[in-house]
Amino acid sequence: MRAADKGDTGELLRKAMEKFGKRFQGKVAIVTASTQGIGFSIAERLGSEGASVVVSSRRQNNVDEAVEKLRARGIEVLGVVCHVSNAQQRKNLIETTVQKYGKIDVIVSNAAVNPSVDAILETKEAVLDKLWEINVKAAILLLQDATPHLQKGSSVIFISSAAGYQPLASLAMYGVTKTALLGLTKALAAEMAPDTRVNCIAPGIVPTRFADFLTSNDEARMAIEEKILLNRLGTTEEMAAATAFLASDDASYITGETLVVAGGAPSRL
């Protein structure tokens, strides 16, 4: 079975805009690793619903291209270069946002790496350090910088993965770091309540550059789709829709939760 094509998801997005309108009007949202893939679609969705969005990634040209695309869609956007493992760049991301917009209402922590497909017990220490530093530690440190500027009623969303529940052999240690985000969501929801809600999205496999090694091979892709109740891979727009829900006031009584968005793929009870 095919993944939902751009026409399908584009039409769903248009209908959603008509239904939900401007849920983020007057809000300021930071999305890390947001110049392509899931992060870009999240920034686009929040911006389409009225947010001023701040996009970031490690490379200036990627940031510039994302900003141009979003502005062409009528979205108020600021682009900042930020490698989340760089302390000064994290601080600059927050400071630049506050200087321009005066506050922060939504933070979507999307940055992640998977530099190895080795078994856990064969993974080099430097790779273990990189996985933990970017996938978990940097998310905490970014919030430490951002917390003084978060508004009452603000929302934090971590982008985990269904692999946090069911790690694939080729994504084993990556899956463990994503499991850590599930616990971090619970812990920070308690710590940041009642003024800030903290939730998590656990996407299934979505065809992006990040997941290309899993989805570019037709045989491997079909094997994955056979295990999904909806018989297809997800789309970046579908992950963005779920993120927008949890970040919005429609989810005002939800905190400390993880929403699995995986088409019915095996995840949890």
Contact partners, residue 183, CB within 8 Å, separation at least 6? none
φ and ψ at residue 68, rounded to 5 degrees: -60, -45
Report the alpha-carbon distance of residue 61 to residue 38 in Å, rounded: 18
Choose, from 101, 165, 174, 253, the residue flagged as catalytic.
Answer: 174
Residue 174 annotated to the active site: yes
Q: Are 157 and 247 in contact (CB under 8 A)?
A: yes
Q: Which two structure tokens, joined as six digits, stand for 11?
A: 């039409």
Nearest of 240, 253, 261, 197 to residue 110 by alpha carbon: 240
- Residues 13, 10, 154, 255: is their CA dihedral positive or negative? positive
Q: Which two structure tokens, joined as six digits, stand for 125?
A: 């220490």
User: Is residue 223 packed enough to be buried (19+ CB in 10 Å), middle (13-18) or exposed (0-12)?
Assistant: exposed
Q: Are 79 and 85 in contact (CB under 8 A)?
A: no
Q: Which two structure tokens, joined as six digits, stand for 101?
A: 């917009």
Q: Which residue has the tokens 């970046």?
A: 236
Active site residues: 174
